[in-house]
Amino acid sequence: MLHSLSTLTSLVQDISRAENAVAAMRQIVVKLTELFSVPVCSLYLKSSSEQRLVLAATAGLADVAVGKVSLALNEGLVGKIGRTLHPLNLADAPTHDKFVFIPETHEAPYHQFMGVPLIHLRELIGVLVIQGTEQQRFSQDAEAFMVTIASQLAGTLQSIQRSGAWLPQQPTTQEVDRYSGVKSAPGIGCGRLEVLHLNLSLQDITQQRSTSIDAELTRFESAVARLKDELSLGASRLGDSLPSDVANLFSVYLMMLQSPELHDRTVQQIRQGFKASWGLRETVEELAGAFDQATDPYLRARGEDIRNIGNRLLRHMLSKNPLETASEQRELVLASDLISIADLSIYRPEQIKGIICTAGSALSHTGIVANALGIPAVMGVSSLDLKKFDGEEVVVDGYRGECILHPSPTLLTEYRRLQHADAQFIDQLACLRDLPAETRDGVRVQLLTNTGLLADVTPGRKHGAEGVGLYRSEIPFMLHDSFPTEDEQYEIYRQVLSAYSPLPVSMRTLDIGGDKQLPYFEIREDNPFLGWRGIRFTLDNTSLLVTQLRAMLRANVDNDNLRLLIPMVSRIDELQTFVHIVDDTLEELQSEGVAVVRPPIGMMVEVPSAVLLLPRMLKYVDYVSIGSNDLTQYLLAVDRNNPKVSALFDNLNPVMLVALEQIVAHTRAANVPLALCGEMASDPAAVLLLLGMGLRSLSLSAHSIPKIKWLIRSVNFTDAQALLHKAQNLASEVEIRALMSEELKRLGLKNLSGPEPVAIV
């Protein structure tokens, strides 16, 4: 038995390359019988509707039992494991009092039994079982390895289990793949999946058939032509400056590329109905495999050359030019592990119908930008193998945090209908643009917008923002390829300030670090969220801060609506130093003859120490803005970007209510204006509580303003206060959310959280 980590890694990789869910499960059970040298391995998955463990794949038991045999939780040994969530390792299973004999499986001769639960993010996915004929328990070593395997496979198996594609009695669901992630930006979007940063090698290619043989042949032939040009160009450009044996490599590669074996065999595979990439993989493996056997090291190296050529051909076959795609009319859903703001900026905003990230979570900055641009986004879809689905039709449901691959025509029509209804609903709210956000009993709330992209300035004005509550100045820094100069910054800030003048604009100084990295200034830290972030970074790089302040103050000369905002404040002396630097900069500019005025200075409260020190900090600032995203992260010690703990990240956790109340009380006592600019301000449930608490200024993404205004205009402040008192007595965010969603339903505001889910039909 091979208990090595590399075995495990290769098992996980093989599965991710499998053609479909059934093939992946089959690979798991077959591979495990080999690894443990046992005759039987079976996989049971929990059916979501009936809470039963259904035999989903087996190697060794009767195939006819697959999909038919099932056990209730606590029924039989498998059901017992499902109920207790604990492994069972038995020498003689039939003598156990929980054993039930299931004739369809033909399992009579097996005594040795080991089963482990498959659990992902606290949820039971299924049970994995191995059986043998001997009458002794499996070794401790084997048990530990089985538990490790189960924990590694649980994530992948969860997506299979949720898709329902493994249930044979539902053949119509087989073509639909539904993947869950974390809701990041609301809305529904449909389009063609455009995977960014796709860096594939032949090893990643899975067997896929194509119905369009001609298109696949053209794809292959044009990749050959492009690689030929590339090699010829390389040979002529570098040939003279290279030693002759290295220069000869170009001609060897060219010969290989044009060899009839490589060409004709690939064409033959394509003509048999396979995709060009799979045909190429098969051909290259066959040709290179023959050289692998050679004893002569020179010949063995030829195998590597063939693979090299194959991989280069593959990249040409799959390569895309984002600028070309961006110029097309097609509707796209962009996907990658993480998508940077620079990636987004290549495409036209109206072309991007959705965003999917396999990493990240609701509040990663990609999500924040998606919100700002009104693009539905789902983050942390870790079980989705993007390579498999590049170019295919996909639906992004940002309300429920789901992506649906291969939607059937009926399903697609339904999602498009919802998309349309949602857009109509938002259009209907346009009539509120010039009306105040005021409760029925006369409490007025100021609605500002969060921005950072120039493209985002217009939506804010269009939706009636009363100013900018948070301008994330790091966003233009992220779009540059070096630190922007004072004049470059000046030009950007001037445009933002004048777009809103005379309405106020809170410009936050550079807040990089954490998940906000600049492509040209890498900060490598083990704990970036506890490291060189925000004000800590800029105070240590004073000249950067001074340059930025100069640009902001100068841009304010003709507008007079600038307010400065300091990110990530955690110490009193940070405020003292910042204020000092602002005063020095003002003096310097005045001495240069620039007519600058001192703008109001505000601080973000987003670190627990700032909540506790607030009464002593307030004397240095003119206003306070709560950064609820980071405040939640730091109060709960839950990384805002980690999908594994995203279920624990909730702004409505009781501790947030306690902290927010303290902030309200401290600022009120000192008569310092207070706003909130985290994503909490776009969450209808949270807004009701904030209203009840006394917050009167919220800053949110432009696209969320109409809905939140409608909410505020539909409720009474006194009702919000009563709700807050109820919520304050509840023990968890789950209970608080349940209370709030009941209330939203009662008020007839249910559609603020999006349309009803669409069932797969």
Catalytic residues: 365, 677
Question: Which whole-number Å values give the CA distances from 196 to 200, 292, 392, in the listed order?
Answer: 11, 34, 14
- Is 472 a binder of ligand PEP (CB under 6 A)? yes
Coil, helix or strand at residue 633: helix
The answer to whether 606 touches 632, Cβ cutoff 8 Å, is: no
Number of residues counted as binding ligand PEP (CB under 6 A): 11
Query: What span, in angstroms and rounded, lies between the C-alpha atoms of 354 and 403?
Result: 10
Considering the complex, what minimum distance in angstroms separates the CB of residue 630 from Mg ion?
4
**Among 135-143, 154-162, 399-407, 627-635, the segment contacting ligand PEP (CB under 6 A):** 627-635
Considering the complex, what minimum distance in angstroms separates the CB of residue 668 from ligand PEP?
21
Which listed option, Mg ion, ligand PEP, none, makes contact with residue 628 (CB within 5 to 8 Å by class)?
ligand PEP
The answer to whether 399 touches 371, Cβ cutoff 8 Å, is: no
**Among 110-118, 149-157, 451-459, 605-613, the segment contacting Mg ion (CB under 5 A):** 605-613
Which listed option, Mg ion, ligand PEP, none, makes contact with residue 650 (CB within 5 to 8 Å by class)?
none
Considering the complex, what minimum distance in angstroms separates the CB of residue 552 from Mg ion?
19
Both structure tokens of 292: 């692998």
Cβ closer to ligand PEP: 283 or 641?
Answer: 641
17: DSSP letter: H
- Is 177 a binder of ligand PEP (CB under 6 A)? no
Considering the complex, what minimum distance in angstroms separates the CB of residue 21 from Mg ion?
40
Which listed option, Mg ion, ligand PEP, none, makes contact with residue 107 (CB within 5 to 8 Å by class)?
none
Q: How many residues does the chain have?
A: 761
Cβ closer to ligand PEP: 511 or 683?
Answer: 511
Considering the complex, what minimum distance in angstroms separates the CB of residue 473 from ligand PEP?
10
Return the closest-CA partner of residue 456 out of 753, 700, 183, 625. 700
Cβ count near 498 (within 10 Å): 14
Query: What span, in angstroms and rounded, lies between the C-alpha atoms of 693 and 698?
Result: 13
Considering the complex, what minimum distance in angstroms separates the CB of residue 699 from ligand PEP?
8
Give, as ranges, the residues between 364 and 423 that touch ligand PEP (CB under 6 A).
368
Cα 327 → chain centroid: 26
Cβ closer to ligand PEP: 77 or 368?
Answer: 368
Considering the complex, what minimum distance in angstroms separates the CB of residue 516 from Mg ion?
9
Which listed option, Mg ion, ligand PEP, none, makes contact with residue 470 (CB within 5 to 8 Å by class)?
ligand PEP
Cβ closer to ligand PEP: 283 or 451?
Answer: 451
**Among 17-25, 91-99, 450-458, 625-633, the segment contacting Mg ion (CB under 5 A):** 625-633
The answer to whether 589 touches 596, Cβ cutoff 8 Å, is: yes
Cβ closer to ligand PEP: 45 or 369?
Answer: 369
Number of residues counted as binding Mg ion (CB under 5 A): 3
Please spell the DSSP secondary structure of 675-704, one letter per residue.
EE-SGGGG-HHHHHHHHHHT--EEEE-GGG
**Among 84-92, 394-402, 598-606, 748-756, the segment contacting Mg ion (CB under 5 A):** 598-606
Cβ count near 319 (within 10 Å): 10
Cα 284 → chain centroid: 35
Helical axes 276-292 vs 213-238, angle rounded to 10°: 50
* Residue 715 backbone phi and psi in degrees, to 5: -120, 170
Considering the complex, what minimum distance in angstroms separates the CB of residue 629 from Mg ion?
5
Which listed option, ligand PEP, Mg ion, none, makes contact with residue 678 (CB within 5 to 8 Å by class)?
ligand PEP
Q: Find the binder of ligand PEP among 159, 180, 277, 629 (CB under 6 A).
A: 629
Cβ closer to ligand PEP: 676 or 758?
Answer: 676
- Is 397 a binder of Mg ion (CB under 5 A)? no
The answer to whether 758 touches 418, Cβ cutoff 8 Å, is: yes
The answer to whether 613 touches 572, Cβ cutoff 8 Å, is: yes
Helical axes 628-636 vs 608-617, angle rounded to 10°: 120
Coil, helix or strand at residue 404: strand
Considering the complex, what minimum distance in angstroms separates the CB of residue 630 from ligand PEP?
3
> How many alpha carbons fall within 13 Å on the CB side of residue 217?
13
Both structure tokens of 431: 């009539």
Please spell the DSSP secondary structure of 715-728, one letter per residue.
S-HHHHHHHHHHHH
- Is 627 a binder of ligand PEP (CB under 6 A)? yes
Site string for ligand PEP, 344-373 (x = CB under 6 A): ------------------------x-----
**Among 132-140, 173-181, 537-545, 623-631, the segment contacting ligand PEP (CB under 6 A):** 623-631
- Is 606 a binder of ligand PEP (CB under 6 A)? yes
The residue at minimum Cβ distance from Mg ion is: 630
Return the closest-CA partner of residue 712 out of 691, 741, 695. 691
β pairing state of 377-379 and 40-47: unpaired
Which listed option, ligand PEP, Mg ion, none, makes contact with residue 677 (CB within 5 to 8 Å by class)?
ligand PEP
Considering the complex, what minimum distance in angstroms separates the CB of residue 370 from ligand PEP?
13
- Is 677 a binder of ligand PEP (CB under 6 A)? yes
Considering the complex, what minimum distance in angstroms separates the CB of residue 628 from ligand PEP?
5
Cβ closer to ligand PEP: 69 or 369?
Answer: 369
Which listed option, ligand PEP, Mg ion, none, makes contact with residue 178 (CB within 5 to 8 Å by class)?
none
637: DSSP letter: T
Which listed option, Mg ion, ligand PEP, none, makes contact with residue 269 (CB within 5 to 8 Å by class)?
none
β pairing state of 437-438 and 402-405: unpaired
Give, as ranges, the residues between 497 and 516 that touch ligand PEP (CB under 6 A).
511
Considering the complex, what minimum distance in angstroms separates the CB of residue 649 from ligand PEP?
12
**Among 159-167, 520-528, 628-636, 642-650, the segment contacting ligand PEP (CB under 6 A):** 628-636
Cβ count near 44 (within 10 Å): 28
Coil, helix or strand at residue 411: helix
- Is 606 a binder of Mg ion (CB under 5 A)? yes
Return the closest-CA partner of residue 370 out of 653, 80, 361. 361
Q: Find the binder of ligand PEP among 107, 282, 456, 630 (CB under 6 A).
A: 630
Q: Cite the DSSP H helix spans in 258-408.
A: 260-271, 276-292, 297-318, 322-327, 341-345, 365-373, 386-389
The answer to whether 443 touches 717, Cβ cutoff 8 Å, is: yes
β pairing state of 332-336 and 697-700: unpaired
521: DSSP letter: B
- Is 470 a binder of ligand PEP (CB under 6 A)? yes
Q: In what order do the strands lie in the sheet with 52-59?
A: 70-72, 52-59, 40-47, 123-132, 112-120, 88-90
Query: What span, in angstroms and rounded, lies between the C-alpha atoms of 547 and 542?
Result: 9
DSSP E strands, 350-439: 352-357, 377-379, 393-397, 402-405, 437-438
β pairing state of 112-120 and 468-472: unpaired
Q: Find the binder of ligand PEP among 126, 191, 643, 678 (CB under 6 A).
A: 678
Cβ closer to Mg ion: 385 or 630?
Answer: 630
Residues that bind Mg ion (CB under 5 A): 606, 627, 630
List residues binding ligand PEP (CB under 6 A).
368, 470, 472, 511, 606, 627-630, 677-678
